[in-house]
Amino acid sequence: MNYIILDLEWNQCPDGKEKEEALLPFEIIEIGAVKMDSHHQILDEFHELIHPQVYSSLHFMTREIISIQEADLENCRTFPEVAKDFLEWWGEDACFCTWGSTDLLELQRNLAWYHIPSPFSFPLLYYDIQKIFSIVYEDRKTRRSLESAVDFLGLPKEHTFHNAWSDAVYTAKVVKRLTEEDIFSNSSVDYYRTPKNRRQEISITYKTYEKFVSKPFSSKTEAMKDRIVTSTRCYLCRKNARKKIRWFSSGTRSYLCLAWCEEHGWLKGKIRMRQHSDGTFYVVKTLKLVNEEEAYAVKEKQEIIRLKRRLKRTFHAKHR
């Protein structure tokens, strides 16, 4: 098995969001990748600029961030031509690593736009090195820039950043500072393709939490009536944990709950509602063991939300 450390640069509609192609908000204009073996030795590299077909003019932010001009792309190959070589280059049994969570999403969008069959299995698990860096070296929540991580590790800065090839090389250098345990125990789930039915639903148990990705629902209300979605089974002992605070809305698309496992203590549940382009919803649920302080914070948040709602109702009643 080889690691494929991938980095992409893309362009967006220069005329504003209202004129963009809904199925292709970001068009890839550069692919950079590094192939490493299981011992973290670099085997090969891939780098190519791409001639855009959808957004021929570059957005001003693209020019500013990645220092590419239209002239640089004029004589380059198109995405389908480059993608064919790239897919052949990475080979079989590849383990994908990226800095952040968007590169594989945009790669799949661009493949779909050009009707290129997806080479990825389902579910697609990958390794977000930005997240893993935070888990290993920081507080699990902070998300550093790649350059900041390179500085933190004291790695030499030999190339400019915001270039697909150099960013892939720098990410590979960060990978070399991680163990296989660091990487493989902290996979991420790609959400470009999500479960189509109950049989395909995804449930993964990590060291400190469990993640569940649901089938589609016609509405948020339907999703929150589903017993599997709202269940709070302890991911350590697999026993049902009794809800002490039932699921409550903590935003337009998020819900929280608090449950008690007799063997392991407090479990904090969090549901994020995500919407497909066809209007249906799917759920990403996490269950995590928390301490007394974190459990109290959930209770406190529920009280604050209740108070705000009461005040809002009182205000509207007085001003009718």
User: What is residue 318's predicted lDDT score, i.e. its pLDDT?
Assistant: 65
The Cβ of residue 5 has, within 10 Å, a number of other Cβ atoms equal to 28
**Which residues lie across from 260 on neighbouring strands?**
242, 266
Structure tokens at 249: 């809305």
User: What is residue 308's predicted lDDT score, i.e. its pLDDT?
Assistant: 84
Contact 1, 93 (CB under 8 A): yes
Q: What is the pTM of this model?
A: 0.91
User: What is residue 262's predicted lDDT score, i.e. its pLDDT?
Assistant: 96
Question: For 70-77, which contacts have Cβ atoms below 8 Å and span 24 or more sequence positions?
Answer: 73/29, 73/49, 75/51, 76/48, 76/49, 76/50, 76/51, 77/48, 77/50, 77/51
User: What is residue 316's predicted lDDT score, i.e. its pLDDT?
Assistant: 62
The CATH label, of 1.25.40.10, 3.30.420.10, 3.40.50.300, 1.10.10.10, for the domain at 2-184 is 3.30.420.10
Which residues in 164-175 are b (16+ Cβ under 10 Å) and which e? Answer: bbbbbbbbbbbb
Non-local CB neighbours of 8 within 8 Å, separated by 6+ positions:
28, 30, 31, 32, 103, 106, 107, 164
**Can you give the three-state secondary structure of the chain, one letter per residue?**
CEEEEEEEEEEECCCCHHHCECCECEEEEEEEEEEECCCCCEEEEEEEECCCCCCCCCCHHHHHHHCCCHHHHCCCCCHHHHHHHHHHHHCCCEEEEECCCCHHHHHHHHHHHCCCCCCCCCCCEEEEHHHHHHHHHCCCCCCCCHHHHHHHCCCCCCCCCCCHHHHHHHHHHHHCCCCHHHHHCCCEECCCCCCCCHHHCEEEECCCEEEEECCCECCHHHHHCCHHHHCCECCCCCCECEEEEEEEECCCCEEEEEEEECCCEEEEEEEEEEECCCCCEEEEEEEEECCHHHHHHHHHHHHHHHHHHHHHHHHHHHCC
Query: From first to last of its 320 residues, what are the pLDDT tens digits of the chain?
Result: 899 999 999 999 998 889 999 999 999 999 999 999 989 999 999 999 999 999 999 998 888 888 888 899 999 999 999 999 999 999 888 999 999 999 999 999 999 999 999 999 999 999 999 999 999 999 998 999 999 999 999 999 999 999 999 999 999 999 999 999 999 999 999 999 999 999 999 999 999 999 999 999 999 999 999 999 999 999 999 999 999 999 999 988 999 999 999 999 999 999 999 999 899 999 999 999 999 999 999 999 999 998 888 887 775 666 66
Contact 147, 154 (CB under 8 A): no
User: What is residue 69's predicted lDDT score, i.e. its pLDDT?
Assistant: 87
Instruction: Parse the chain into domains and list their residue ranges.
Output: 2-184, 195-311
